[in-house]
Structure 1
Amino acid sequence: MDSVANKAEQVREQIARTENELQDLRRQLSELESPIQNLNLDKGPSSISETKQPGDASTPEWKWPLREEEYSRYGRQLILPIVGIKGQLRLKSTAVLIVGAGGLGCPAAAYLAGAGVGTLGVVDGDIVEVSNLHRQIAHSTSRVGMMKVDSLVEYCQGLNPNVTYVPHREHLTPHNAEGIVSRYDVVLDCTDHPTSRYLISDICILLQKPLVSASALRTDGQLIVLNNPAAAQGATDGGPCYRCVFPKPPPADSVVSCGEGGILGPVVGIMGVLQALEAIKLIVSGTGKETDSKPQEPVTPSLLLLSATSTTPFRSIRMRSRRPNCFACSAGSTLTLKELGSGSLDYVQFCGVTTPVNVLKPEERISATDYNDIIGEQSSKGFLLDVREKEHFNIASIPGAVNIPFSTMQSRSTPEYISNVIPVDGPIYVVCRVGNDSQLVAQQLKEMRLEGDGERVIRDIKGGMLAWKHEVDSTLPFT
């Protein structure tokens, strides 16, 4: 069976490589055809008449700014007062960058491609995983293992082949940010971590690009348009940046990932669609890529909050303009492209280093395999405390485990509650998702003197339920 599984894995890898090669060929073809298409568009009405043969009256001269197919494709938005022919031409001449091809980036890219932006760039260094598919709607089961940017571009090409797509198969970093972002007019932050949000905001300030930023977790989301109008550092008429709104990052231990906290697919989808809407509004109004000489009207920044479980799911909070002492966009800012590109700004350090918890000594921990042996050898296997949140516990657990969530363990009433749940004697073992929270709880139990004078064993299971799946029970559902 192992040989069959290995062969299947090799075939999957070969399929992924072939699909990537196909995407490269499509990209090369698109790049080769773009100059030809642009040349024809630049020629305007004369491009068709020049191909007519003398005396040939069968092909009338085309005298309209858009191609015939584009009037059909974009007709339903062309008749909107907010768009019109002027707005559609602005869309066609604008390059938009999406940073992150996940739950936010997929719907945002789809609607921007459908609207007819001229160029759509996508930055992401990850591959498609099965766990992505419930919310990252542009990807599919057949493209698991494929680069996310290639999968998203393929999806958008099927939706609108008239757009020029530029895949950037890498994560945005301080070293490559200027080279990538400088090629675009509007940027969408579709990432999921504070480090990337501060970096994207900083480069947009330095390059004077408007930024549409969103985030989503569990059943909540937020959206804000930053650096709008886009203005140089110190300009009082410029919109606030991410650092103006959030001068300090959240504590590192409070940052919860989708893997830990969960995410409802439609929630992140709504926020991605709203990002596309805000980007389109920027572009058709001329803010994203200014084409008029008239001054722009002041923009009142606001933070849009979504709570999917609330009776009033949306609410808007009015934000202040640029902070006069902002690190990035104020007149006194020392942030430069050279400093950012040099890597001297450590965004990971700024947002807090989230290293694995290491509070227990090696002898105070036990492997999943060893605990499984204890279960089999002893009639009294001790007390197994599972400190995952109840939603994780309800999906799958080790037989005999008792669930007291980590959040409950941190409450003030915990000592009395625990004394009624945990037996007065026998060993205590603690398990969590990946082996971090379990160490903290084991230490907490020791501090509560449940260990006695050392005659009672308190251990945590190294690697948590993930280790249990790898070492003991491969059928265990792990989320």
Structure 2
Amino acid sequence: MARTVRDAAWVLGAIAGRDGRDNYTLASPHPISENTHRVTHERIIPDVTRSSQLKLRSAKVLIVGAGGLGCPAAQYLAGAGVGTLGLVDGDTVESSNLHRQVLHRSKNVGKLKVDSAIESLRDLNPHPTYIAHRAHLAPQDAADIFKNYDLILDCTDNPATRYLISDTAVLLGKPLVSASALRTEGQLMVLNNPPRSVGDKTGGPCYRCVFPRPPPANSIMSCADGGILGPVVGTMGVLQALEAIKVITATDEEVKPPSLHIFSAYSSPLFRTIKLRSRRPNCAVCSGEASVTLETVKSGSTDYVFFCGSVGPEKLLLPEERISPREYRTKYPVTASSEAIGTVTKEPTIIDVREKVQFDICSLENSINIPISSILSSATKTAQNNEVANGSNPLPPWLPADIASSDSIDPIYVVCRLGNDSQIAVKRLKELGLDRGGERVVADIRGGLRAWREQVDPEWPEY
């Protein structure tokens, strides 16, 4: 066992461009020869050859997303000695990121993620060229960024960006390593490999080939809302780095059939593999019938937000249907006497639409929990709601009787974690007729509990 561990350490050191004393050797006149010489008396991985190391050092890899997937992927690619690493992200580091986004440190909270990540990567290996793209990936810029790289890693967490990344990669002939992770599960695919021209059936499938239609917008859950176990997303990010190394160092004869790898932390076995079909003959981007082009992407004619059925949260409700946490507390203040007994004077019902596990962590006083998943699963139709007041049509079972009562006109305010799901819930409650034709206030607390912490209660738990 000791010999095996020692051998592994030497080999990994060779790939990373370090010797057994953890010294970088890339700057020496013959770095490959030195590294090879250092491991000749140890076991050598047959797949890691001199040619492989040269390919890694000349490779240019773009990582879109410097979060839970992008951090470990970048870490291992930098350690492997990839010549150029580009990172795309417009977000800043938050303390709630740190448990899973392993390149970021507490001192960098508030700093742009790409800058924080590159700072850590340079500490790991200063020799690669690191390029920061300090903005979210946008259709008008994607092609100009992608064209400078050999391989793309999709480390994002929303469908619209996934389709944009895949489309651009196909149209520019770039292979793509795509992964996702949520809660305790993850998925991994290598797409557009080999990267053939549009219409060539021998090319690898793209994201649209695997998922021709996006999932329903109301079924999509982010890590912020659904939660994520750090080692799960870390596992998927490390596997992305591994697949990237395999793509970079492979010959044409070594390209494997496309597969979808599914990881489940609490299953046995941990991994399942599903064989994917080749390119779809009517795919909108990689087939001979393609309607998506670089021009339609860049001009905005290919509307990814519309295609995925998602709308910016600010467009869901009118201003009068929303109230800020500060305005809410001003309108419904906590009096001295009510503070003593833990109640609030004349406070309306607050519906918290987070999932129960989050509601149990912390909740506002006088709030009840109705998860957004329950609200969206209701089969009650808007057209039937005109009869609700007369009691001829039952409301969904998740709605408490006192709120559903035709006699109740007490205000209802809806809150969630970030202020997105609450807007969807407000629209749904109004569709169910709970606003009594405008006589009853049904409104959203703008910005959710994060804004509540910022505007009302600095001690509110942040998770």
Equivalent of 1:348 in 281, 292, 305: 305
Residue equivalent to 2:139 = 174
Distance 1:189 1:253 in 2: 22
CA distance in structure 2 between the aligned counterparts of 1:364 and 1:95, rounded to whole angstroms: 46
Q: Deviations over 1:316-349 (max 9, x none)?
A: 1111000111111112325444444444433223
CA distance in 2: counterparts of 1:303 and 1:427, whole angstroms: 51
Higher alpha-carbon Rg:
1
Q: How many pairs are equivalent?
A: 411
Question: What is the alpha-carbon distance in structure 2 between the residues aligned to residue 77 and residue 328 of structure 1?
Answer: 48
Contact 1:99 1:122 in 2 (8 A): yes
2:443 is paired with a residue of what secondary structure?
Answer: strand
Shift of residue 197, structure 1, vs aligned partner: 1.5
Q: CA deviation at 1:135?
A: 0.9
Q: Deviations 1:374-405 (Å, cap 9, x if unpaired)?
A: 87798664544433221221222122323232
TM-aligned CA deviation for residue 124 of structure 1: 2.2
Instruction: Give the unaligned 5+ runs of structure 1.
Output: 1-36, 42-47, 49-63, 288-295
Contact 1:430 1:441 in 2 (8 A): no
In structure 2, relative to structure 1, the CA distance for the partners of 1:470 and 1:178 (3 Å cut) is closer
* Secondary structure class of the residue paired with 2:247: helix
Q: How has the CA–CA distance of structure 1 residues 331 and 465 changed in structure 2, closer, same or farther, with 3 Å as cutoff?
A: same
Q: Are 1:430 and 2:404 an aligned pair?
A: no
Distance of 1:195 and 1:321 partners within structure 2: 23
Q: 1:462 aligns with which of 433, 445, 449?
A: 445
Q: Cα distance, 1:437 vs. partner?
A: 4.5
After TM superposition, give the deviation of residue 441 of structure 1 in Å.
Answer: 5.0
Specify the code of the residue in structure 1 equivalent to 2:180: S
Q: Please, which of 302, 306, 326 is the counterpart of residue 283 of structure 2?
A: 326
Q: Work out whether 1:369 is the aligned partner of 2:329.
A: yes
Is the CA contact (8 Å cut-off) linking 1:386 and 1:404 kept in structure 2? yes
**Percent of aligned positions that are identical:** 50
Aligned pair partner of 2:361 in 365, 389, 395 = 395
1:122–1:149 Cα contact (<8 Å) kept: yes
TM-score w.r.t. structure 2 length? 0.77
Question: SS in structure 2 opposite 1:68?
Answer: helix
CA distance in 2, matches of 1:447, 1:150: 45
Distance 1:127 1:272 in 2: 19
One-letter amino acid matched to 1:398: L
What is the correspondence of 1:100-249 to structure 2 with a 5 Å cutoff? 100-249=65-214
CA-CA distance at 1:418 after TM superposition: 3.7
How far is the alpha carbon of 1:243 from its aligned partner? Answer: 1.2
Q: Deviations over 1:39-66 (max 9, x none)?
A: x99xxxxxx7xxxxxxxxxxxxxxx672
Measure, in 2, the Cα distance between the counterparts of 1:333 and 1:358: 32
Report the CA distance between 1:475 and its aligned residue. Answer: 1.8
> SS state of the match for residue 474, structure 1?
coil
SS of match in other structure, 1:224: strand
Whichever residue aligns with residue 368 of structure 2, its letter is V
Partner residue in 2 for 1:405: 371
Tell me the C-alpha RMSD between the 2 structures.
3.5
Partner of 1:66: 32
The aligned counterpart of 1:284 is 249
Report Cα offsets for 1:115-138 as digits up to 9, x if no partner. Answer: 122222222233222222111101
Q: 1: CA distance between counterparts of 2:437 and 2:365?
A: 29
Of residues 451, 457, 460, the one that matches 1:473 is 457
For the 8 Å contact 2:321–2:444, the answer to whether it is kept is no
Q: Indicate the larger mover: 208-217 or 82-91.
A: 82-91
Change (3 A) 1:383 1:175: closer
Query: CA separation in 2, counterparts of 1:123 and 1:267?
Result: 22
Alpha-carbon separation, structure 2, partners of 1:441 and 1:174 = 30
The answer to whether the Cα contact below 8 Å between 1:252 and 1:351 also exists between their aligned partners in 2 is: yes
Q: Please tell me the residue identity of whatever aligns with 1:427.
A: D
> 2:239 matched to 1:274?
yes
SS at match of 1:176: helix
Q: Kindly indicate whether the alpha-carbon contact (under 8 Å) linking 2:395 and 2:404 is maintained by their aligned counterparts in 1.
A: no
**Shift in alpha-carbon separation, 1:80–1:335, aligned structure 2, 3 A:** same
Cα deviations by residue, 1:149-188 (Å, 9 ceiling, x for unpaired): 2222221222222323222333333333333222222211
Aligned partner of 1:96 in structure 2 is 61
1:100 maps to a residue whose letter is G
- The one-letter amino acid of 1:347's match is Y
Shift in Å, 1:310: 2.7
Q: SS where residue 197 of structure 1 aligns?
A: helix
Instruction: Give 3-state SS (helix, strand or coil) of 1:184's partner.
Output: coil
